[in-house]
Amino acid sequence: MTKPSSLPLSVRSIEWVRANHGAWLVNTVEHYWYSWTAPAPGGPTLKALPAVGVSGRAHAAKPRKRVVPSYRPARIAPVLHPALPGEGIWQATGQTVGGIPPVLVTTYRPDPTYPRVVAYVAWIDHTRTQTALYPGRYEPPGASPRGPMEIPPGQRSRLLATFNSGFTYNDGHGGFAVDGQTVKPLQDGEGTVVAYRDGRVDVVTWHGGQNLPRWLVFARQNLPLIVDAGRPSPQLNDPNAFWGFTLGNAVRVWRSGIGVDRHGNLIYAAADLQTASSLAQLFVHAGAVRAMELDINPEWPSFITYSSPGGRDPIKLVPNYQQSTTRYLVPDDRDFFAVYARRAGLTGYVPFR
């Protein structure tokens, strides 16, 4: 409790109980609390969606050369009608790479049963970005080197976005590896975010055992995939299955996840009042062909964009009041992902400085 921490006292107290043989108690209380306080289905819909992105404002210098056309995702089709202004329409986040915004964000209402729920979605162009994975102050346990536990100052000039990782190791038991170093052994059958030496990133089911292949830059595991081959996993209907040991598959709570579209671009999404199954449906509707759950509960989902170079002008996509916009610009307790503008020769490893 007295150790340095990025968490407020209230959250730190709960996490201390969970980590010191009280996980069963915290899990039980959370299960009943979220079940009892879940809002009833139906009710009035929203009249407007939260504003996201910067709507065409770009801080990066305009390119001197002709901009090469690139793939841009289609609008996320509205689920509820009539659609609200801007619903499902992708917005720029302030910086460009080669004259084109590499990170886009949007919101939409994913569930007619809960018409006031908003999904917060981000799309990351894999051809113009480099994704990195960093250990936090305490997660994963035993990381060596642990690194800066924040965005390295030497990389902030090209920082575009940051987002949360998965469960703590005690809850998820997933593998973790960076730059050829295994922190926690990789497990076959687990959903895994992987990065390749050429800069590509993917979300896959891991079948490589514990030996790290030469092409691997990083791997972060967190339970089996919730979406595969463009469809929700059939195991989502199994009450004894895997997603969310802390709350169970069917408890409606804040959940986040990461997926990949058919062009190899990343999709991040987070929303309140989600089950594992509804999160999978959200990803399928947003265009993911594979997806895995990341962290859950209202304290943890974070997706932050930086509309000016150097980590300046941070903007929260996910409205998490328990986390600051400067999360990941200072040491954080948990591991996290960073999205950088791609530079030639820098895609083959995770820069710790």
How confident is the model over 76-112, as pLDDT tens digits?
999 999 999 999 999 999 999 999 999 999 999 999 9
38 lies in some domain = no
Task: Provide the pLDDT for residue 77.
Answer: 97
- The domain containing residue 165 runs over which residues? 70-341
123 lies in some domain = yes
Task: Provide the pLDDT for residue 17.
Answer: 74
Does the pLDDT of residue 162 top 50, yes or no?
yes
Task: Provide the pLDDT for residue 222.
Answer: 94
Task: Provide the pLDDT for residue 247.
Answer: 56
268 lies in some domain = yes
Task: Classify 221 in phi/psi space as left (phi over 0), alpha (psi -120 to 50) or beta.
Answer: beta
Does the pLDDT of residue 345 top 60, yes or no?
yes
Percent of the chain with pLDDT over 90: 72
8 lies in some domain = no
Q: Which residue has the higher pLDDT, 18 or 284?
A: 284
CA-only gyration radius of the chain, Å = 19
132 lies in some domain = yes
Which H or E element spans position 304? strand 303-308
Regarding pTM above 0.85, the answer is yes
Give 296-339 pLDDT, tens digit per residue: 999 999 999 999 999 999 999 999 998 999 999 999 999 999 99
Range in 12-21, 38-47, 229-238, 297-306 the model is least confident about: 12-21
171 lies in some domain = yes
125 lies in some domain = yes
The residues facing 340 across adjacent strands are 130, 159
CB 187 within 8 A of CB 174: yes
User: Of the segments 28-32, 167-171, 206-210, which one has the largest average pLDDT value?
Assistant: 206-210
User: Of the segments 45-49, 172-176, 248-252, 284-288, which one has the largest average pLDDT value?
Assistant: 284-288
CB 224 within 8 A of CB 235: yes
Split into its structural domains, the chain has a count of 1
What are the strands of the beta sheet with 303-308, ordered from one edge? 129-134, 336-341, 159-164, 303-308, 312-316
Single-letter amino acid code for the residue at 235? Q
Give 208-259 pLDDT, tens digit per residue: 999 999 999 999 999 999 999 999 998 887 765 665 555 556 688 999 999 9
What's the whole-number average pLDDT of the chain?
A: 89
18 lies in some domain = no
Residue 272's SS3 state is strand
Does the pLDDT of residue 352 top 90, yes or no?
yes
Mean pLDDT, range 175-189, rounded to an integer? 96
